[in-house]
Amino acid sequence: MKIKLCLLYGGKSAEHEVSLQTAKAVTQALNTEKFAIFPIYITKEGKWIKGKELIESIKDVKELTFKEDGEEIVPHALNASLALNEEKSSNYDVIFPLLHGPNGEDGTVQGMLELLNIPYVGNGVLSSSAAMDKVIMKNLFAQEGLDQVKYTWFIRSTWEAAPERAYEKVESELGYPCFVKPANLGSSVGISKCDNRADLENAFSEAFKYDRKIIIEEGVTAREIEVGVLGNDYPECSVAGEIVPKKGFYDYQSKYVDGNTELVIPADISAEEYTELRSMAVRAFRSLDCSGLVRADFFITNDGRTIINEVNTMPGFTPFSMFPLVWKHTGVDYPELIERMIHLAVERHQEKQNIIHTF
């Protein structure tokens, strides 16, 4: 019998379009002889719209953005469980949340799936929420003893009450250059590089458009290296890949629009550097209690420091994204990678069924 797989994508997030690209790529890789594929599109307003079973791969993302007329609509997130768990929904075997950013990658959807007791691909509630908030993540990495750049953070009300004090704190503790980011967003949305006070003021305003909390990180001169991690209790690491922006830094435009970035896989690093990266990636994975997958991002500085930047619990996942590419160079192609992630989801779910809930 086919595995009944539900794809969740879209989402109420600034990374909505990235999620659509991910969903399209996954439909093109799934074997329809093994999987019965059922799509649920989450609009930018948070409505859940069920589509019909996909019997062939999607060629254009427009095919995935179902309209409200003629489709089954679940208008409120509190009723989303009906879309996933009612009898006529086919009682899905596994849910694959192809969601990037808030309201999907941050533990919210994962919590609902836990309550429904349905296997789902990727990280659980704690790891998803902790990794989404860059401040919490970095605090946990610090407790683990992982080397990081200097950082500070603010919530909107603190900044609005005393903006000059906020800017002075950044200048005294971090200096220039520095990077200002929304704390709870990915795909380089809302990120600015700052070389002076004017840049910093503009960057605060830009980042606060996307979140109530922002993080500011010290700028370093370094190579950007990424490693894929796959597994549950016994995670494995891929080869390393290097991001080489042709100009500026690796922003949203470079990632998704102009292709103005080179990915070098495997990265030209020493065996000792790779061993250190792999060790730190696994430590980061375990410190957040991750499961399924993460992409771990690092800096290797000119003086030889290996610094962890962050982990991403649902990284870019098209065949041309770094996470699938480093696994391809490790010997795991895109369709096999997807199937391994689904298997890991079922494995984790089955283990949880052994936990007793009475005393």
Q: Which residues are catalytic?
A: 15, 187, 321
| Distances 324 to 22, 288, 294 between C-alpha atoms, Å | 11, 22, 11
Q: CB within 8 A of 313, min separation 6: which ones?
A: 105, 122, 123, 127, 128, 131, 132, 290, 293, 294
Question: Is 312 labelled as part of a ligand binding site?
Answer: yes
Write down the H helix ranges in 69-219: 80-85, 108-116, 125-132, 134-144, 156-161, 163-173, 197-207
Question: Is 224 labelled as part of a ligand binding site?
Answer: yes
Question: Residue type at 263?
Answer: L
Q: How far is 73 from 58, CA to CA, in rounded Å?
A: 21
Question: Is 309 labelled as part of a ligand binding site?
Answer: yes
Q: How far is 312 from 324, CA to CA, in rounded Å?
A: 13
Question: Is 209 labelled as part of a ligand binding site?
Answer: no
Question: Is 236 labelled as part of a ligand binding site?
Answer: no
Q: Are 14 and 101 in contact (CB under 8 A)?
A: yes
134-162 burial, b for 16+ CB within 10 Å, e for fewer?
Answer: bbbbbebbeeeebebbebbbbeeeebeee
Question: Is 226 labelled as part of a ligand binding site?
Answer: no
Q: Are 176 and 209 in contact (CB under 8 A)?
A: no
Question: Is 71 labelled as part of a ligand binding site?
Answer: no
Question: Is 196 labelled as part of a ligand binding site?
Answer: no
Q: How far is 77 from 111, CA to CA, in rounded Å?
A: 12
Q: CB within 8 A of 62, min separation 6: which ones?
A: none
Question: Is 212 labelled as part of a ligand binding site?
Answer: no
Question: Is 297 labelled as part of a ligand binding site?
Answer: yes
Question: Is 223 labelled as part of a ligand binding site?
Answer: yes
Question: Is 278 labelled as part of a ligand binding site?
Answer: no
Question: Is 219 labelled as part of a ligand binding site?
Answer: yes
Strands 3-10 and 35-42: parallel
Q: Are 168 and 176 in contact (CB under 8 A)?
A: no
Question: Is 202 labelled as part of a ligand binding site?
Answer: no
Q: Are 208 and 214 in contact (CB under 8 A)?
A: yes
| Distances 216 to 13, 185, 189 between C-alpha atoms, Å | 21, 14, 14
Give the residue numbers of the binding site for Mg(2+).
297, 310, 312
Binding residues for ATP: 134, 179-181, 187-188, 217-224, 309-310
Residue stretches of the annotated binding site: 134, 179-181, 187-188, 217-224, 297, 309-310, 312
